[in-house]
């Protein structure tokens, strides 16, 4: 089921976390944070919105890291109901796509709830002081292939945040599959 996150709550402070990663390490927010900002992206392995843009997403996130922005992806889906999103499958997914950033597993879903994650992909772009400045989309092309000259909304927003500390005031929310929450 498709979902869309709410508008950016400018200045909202990033929630702390400590999560295991597919590279065998454990990361906290302080480990991810970059000198010019931080980007937390909620994704999963099976979502057609994610899988259709994964190569474009990985390339964009690598370019964002080059701006001095720390990047991490988090999967929080219920792996009991969606075994393709299990931690072992996350490891395979990260390897297959050459993730140059940590891919974290939020098995208890506490981090996804703390952030108010709504869908995959869901982007949380923070300034250097960990205040939220971007809650938009990757780009205007959604699941379709993007032309070479396509506007890179996420990259442009994070570059602006790195340079000015402020995100764009006009943002179009991401769209994707809803987070697969565990039964209460």
66 domain-assigned: yes
Q: For residue 12, give both structure tokens.
A: 């909202």
184 domain-assigned: no
- Domain coverage including residue 55: 2-178
How far apart, in whole angstroms, are the C-alpha atoms of residue 172 and residue 103?
A: 25
- For residue 54, the model assigns a pLDDT of 97
Encode pLDDT of 132-174 as tens digits: 999 999 999 888 888 888 899 999 999 999 999 999 999 999 9
90 domain-assigned: yes
15 domain-assigned: yes
183 domain-assigned: no
Strands 132-134 and 103-105, by their bridges, are unpaired
- Percent of the chain clearing pLDDT 90 (strictly above): 89
Considering its fold, how many domains does the chain have in total?
A: 1
pTM comes to 0.96
Contact between 95 and 45 (Cβ < 8 Å): no
Position 1 pLDDT exceeds 70 = no
How far apart, in whole angstroms, are the C-alpha atoms of residue 172 and residue 96?
A: 30
Rounded to the nearest angstrom, the gap between the alpha carbon of residue 72 and the centroid of all alpha carbons in its chain is 7
116 domain-assigned: yes
- Residue 151: CATH number of its domain: 3.40.30.10
């Amino acid at each position: 089921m498709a979902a869309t996150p709410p508008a950016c709550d400018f200045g909202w402070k990033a929630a702390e976390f400590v999560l295991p990663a597919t590279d065998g390490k454990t990361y906290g927010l302080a480990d991810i944070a970059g000198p010019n900002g931080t980007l937390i992206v909620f994704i999963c392995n099976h979502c057609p919105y994610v899988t259709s843009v994964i190569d474009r997403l990985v390339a964009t996130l690598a370019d964002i890291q080059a701006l001095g922005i720390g990047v991490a992806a988090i999967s929080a889906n219920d792996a009991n109901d969606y075994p393709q999103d299990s931690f072992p499958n996350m490891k395979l997914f990260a390897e297959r796509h050459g993730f140059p950033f940590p891919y974290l597993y939020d098995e208890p879903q506490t981090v996804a709830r703390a952030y108010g994650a709504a869908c995959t992909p869901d982007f949380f772009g923070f300034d250097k002081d960990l205040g939220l400045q971007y809650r938009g989309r990757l780009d205007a092309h959604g699941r379709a292939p993007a032309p070479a000259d396509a506007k890179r909304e996420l990259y442009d927003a994070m570059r602006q945040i790195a340079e000015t500390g402020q995100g764009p005031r006009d943002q179009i929310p991401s769209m994707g599959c809803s987070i697969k929450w565990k039964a209460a």
